[in-house]
């Protein structure tokens, strides 16, 4: 009798694990686009960090990302059960924040304030601010990933929901920040290859050193675009009137869909900056 119960339990566990694996694969496909944006944004966040501080910064942001998901996974499950109507409004607040950060970044680039270099004692503060900003941005993108994954598994039993969301949370974090770490240290690997006696190794090293500055600049641009595309996309998909308007004109997919997300993201970010920046300036004076 006891042996039979044990086999039944093991069979149930195997069945749940199979369901978790299947739901995780489906959720991973659904969230792949956001993960790509997450990668671009986070690689962009470490641009400009001193070489010896790149991996510590990536590790600090990765730890923050894990804690974000420790908060978000239970919160998403609670919202799905007790307050599903709050999910979209909270996502839109996060989308507005992303758009705000994107426009603010453009304003700083094209209308910089002050030209003095940071003093040595300010470097630690700058690094801390960069890490905190990256973790805040990660929180919003992680929230969207978790919510999208929740939509895939919403009809599954609770153990499958928990297993799939945890697998997505851990897997995506390891994938994104592992890849970010490889990207930011590729130039060091290229420099290491130049010390080798092999002509082929030196050629590969020179190629890496030529390509990496272009890649990092490209990721910087892609990261800023991702802020608008992700933030704007949250609005174009969750504001019914806007979604219906774009759908009726077939502007909700492909190149037109990206253009719509970008336009809405810029508009939302500009509106948020018009409200928030004067308030920040006003209260910053006191």
- Structural contact between residues 236 and 246, judged by C-beta atoms closer than 8 angstroms: yes
Please, what sign has the CA dihedral across residues 230, 235, 240, 241? negative
Average pLDDT over all residues of the chain: 78
Summarize pLDDT for 6-56 with one digit per residue, the tens.
445 444 455 545 555 655 665 555 555 556 656 666 666 666 667 677 788
- Structural contact between residues 172 and 208, judged by C-beta atoms closer than 8 angstroms: no
Classify 135 as helix, strand or coil: helix
Would you list the domain boundaries of the chain?
Answer: 20-219
Phi-psi group of 134: left, alpha or beta (phi > 0 → left; psi -120 to 50 → alpha; rest → beta): alpha
Chunk the chain into consecutive blocks of 10 residues (it has 286) and report each block's average pLDDT, rounded to whole numbers. Answer: 50 51 57 59 66 81 90 87 81 84 85 52 62 84 79 75 84 85 83 87 89 78 81 88 89 88 94 90 67
Summarize pLDDT for 103-128 with one digit per residue, the tens.
988 888 888 764 444 444 444 446 78
**Alpha carbon distance 125, 145 (integer Å):** 30
**Alpha carbon distance 141, 98 (integer Å):** 9
pTM of this prediction exceeds 0.85:
no
| Residue 267 confidence (pLDDT) | 95
């Amino acid at each position: 009798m006891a042996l039979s119960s044990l086999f039944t339990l093991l069979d149930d566990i195997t069945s749940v694990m199979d369901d978790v694996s299947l739901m995780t694969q489906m959720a991973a496909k659904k969230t792949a686009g956001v993960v790509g944006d997450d990668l671009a944004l986070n690689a962009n966040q470490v641009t400009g960090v001193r070489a010896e501080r790149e991996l510590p910064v990536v590790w600090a942001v990765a730890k923050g990302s894990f804690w974000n998901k420790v908060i978000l996974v239970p919160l998403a499950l609670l919202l799905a059960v007790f307050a599903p109507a709050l999910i979209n409004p909270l996502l839109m607040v996060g989308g507005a924040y992303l758009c705000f950060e994107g426009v603010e970044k453009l304003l700083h680039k094209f209308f910089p304030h002050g030209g003095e270099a940071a003093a040595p004692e300010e470097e630690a503060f700058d690094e801390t601010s960069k890490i905190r900003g990256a973790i805040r941005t990660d929180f919003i993108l992680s929230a969207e990933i978790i919510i999208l994954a929740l939509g895939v598994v919403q009809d599954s039993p609770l153990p499958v929901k928990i297993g799939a969301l945890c697998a997505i949370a851990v897997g995506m974090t390891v994938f994104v920040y592992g890849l970010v770490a490889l990207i930011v240290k590729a130039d060091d690997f290229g420099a290491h290859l130049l010390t080798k006696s092999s002509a082929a190794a030196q050629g590969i090293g020179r190629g890496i050193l030529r390509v990496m500055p272009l890649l990092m600049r490209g990721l910087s641009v892609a990261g800023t675009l991702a802020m608008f595309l992700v933030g704007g996309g949250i609005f174009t998909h969750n504001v019914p009137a806007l979604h219906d308007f774009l759908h009726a004109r077939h502007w909700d997919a492909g190149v037109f869909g990206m253009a719509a997300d970008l336009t809405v993201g810029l508009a939302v970010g500009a509106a948020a900056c018009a409200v928030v920046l004067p308030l920040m300036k006003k209260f910053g004076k006191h």
